[in-house]
Amino acid sequence: QVQLQESGPGLVKPSETLSLTCAVSGFSISSGSYWGWIRQPPGKGLEWLGSIYYSGNTHINPSLKSRVTLSVDTSENQFSLKLTSVTAADTAVYFCAAHRRPESTIAVAAYYFDDWGQGSLVTVSS
C-alpha cells in the first residue's frame, strides 16, 4: 500500500521560501508515475501546483511557474516543493499525491491524482 507523508515547517515568514518534502513508502518513486503537489487555503478549494516525474521532468501550474521548483530524490524515495516569495495568500494545507496514468492509455492528459498524503498546514506570517 502506497503511503505519502508531507513534512516541513508549519510557519514561514512573508517573502521567504516555503519548503516541503513528501516521503513515499510502499512504492518506489523510480518505478514510474508523476508525483504532485496540491494545496487548499483555509475554507477554499483545491489548487494543483505541479508534478514531477522520477527522471526530473516537471509540469508546473502556469500561474505559479515563476515561484515553484520541484525536485525528486530517488535515493530517499521522496520529492520536494519550494515556493518562493510567499505571502499570506500562500497559507494553505499542502497535499502531496501520486499523479498516475491509467493502464489503458499512455496519454499524459489522462493522469489523475491518487494515494494522497494527509496534508501539511503551512502558515505564512511574520
Partner 1 sequence: QTVVTQEPSFSVAPGGTVTLTCGLSSGSVSARYYPSWYQQTPGQAPRTLIYNINTRSSGVSDRFSGSILGNKAALTITGAQADDDSDYYCVLYMGSGNWVFGGGTKLTVL
Q: Note whether 118 binds partner 1 by CB under 8 A.
A: yes
The one segment of 10-18, 24-32, 73-81, 110-118 that binds partner 1 by CB under 8 A: 110-118
Between CA 84 and CA 66 the distance in angstroms is 9
> Residues 74-103: x/- map of binding to partner 1 (CB under 8 A)?
---------------------x-x----x-
Q: Do 50 and 81 meet the contact criterion of CB atoms below 8 Å apart?
A: yes
Total residues in contact with partner 1, by rule CB under 8 A:
27
Between CA 99 and CA 115 the distance in angstroms is 8
SS3 110: helix
Contacts (CB under 8 A) with partner 1, residues 26-65: 38, 45-48, 51, 59-62
Give ∠ CA 112-97-36 in degrees, rounded to 5.
75
Residues that bind partner 1 (CB under 8 A): 38, 45-48, 51, 59-62, 95, 97, 102, 104-105, 107-114, 116-119
